[in-house]
Amino acid sequence: MHKTIGEALKFIDEFIPLIKDVRNKEIALAPTFICLEKVHEALKGTNIKLCAQNVFYEKQGAYTGEISPLMLKDIGVDYVIVGHSERRRYFNENDEMINKKIRASIENGLKVIFCIGETLEERQKNRTFEILKKQIIKGLEGIRDLSNITIAYEPVWAIGTGIVANELQIKEAHFFIREQLKEFTPDNSIRILYGGSVSAENIKSIMNIENVDGVLVGGASLNPVNFVKIIKYED
């Protein structure tokens, strides 16, 4: 929950010239709901996709305060984030609700970034794989075509804390997720992102881990210069 419309447009003005030459990576920005339409207009003709931070699972109705996938599609949104740990934690979103949101988003032509991850307590109790498997199975229930879904592994204990999961932890989690996805589809090209205190300092080491196909960037994306350093990392 950052940036007014004016601040978001100022960010775009600084950001676009810095990444206009990037053609080998997909870039998406996820501003707040009030900024989406203006940011969409500002991004026309660029190589940047537009992403919403959340969505509801009905097209319309008596759901005060919610935004439907149909509305998001109408203003030019490409992607939507579903199941983010903060939605689960602060707004009590469960796996069943997340599944409804994923289904509704896909049915209305949106691509989904589906977030999963364990809490610190769950990791300390050696329940990481149990939690990830449950979130994947329940979140993707009834969905056989995963071509419009990207998975984002975000260990909750590493989000906004400055603590980054070590390379072995990330590698094990991403390998496990890749194996679980085989239960839904033989397609091995589904992207798995890592999210959790990603920065310009650690992006290279994270991206060199097997099965890490990209990153879901939080606080480090608020400054256009810092964000560009992450995007333009070199192997």
User: Catalytic residue numbers?
Assistant: 84, 154
Checking 162-165 for CB contacts under 8 A at 24+ apart, the result is: 162/197, 163/196, 163/197, 164/196, 164/197, 164/198, 164/202, 164/206, 165/194, 165/196
Q: What is the rounded CA–CA span in Å between residue 4 and residue 141?
A: 37
The answer to whether the beta carbons of residues 46 and 16 sit under 8 Å apart is: yes
Q: What is the rounded CA–CA span in Å between residue 117 and residue 155?
A: 5
The answer to whether the beta carbons of residues 131 and 118 sit under 8 Å apart is: yes
Q: What is the rounded CA–CA span in Å between residue 195 and residue 220?
A: 11
The region, left, alpha or beta by phi > 0 then psi within -120 to 50, assigned to residue 197 is: left
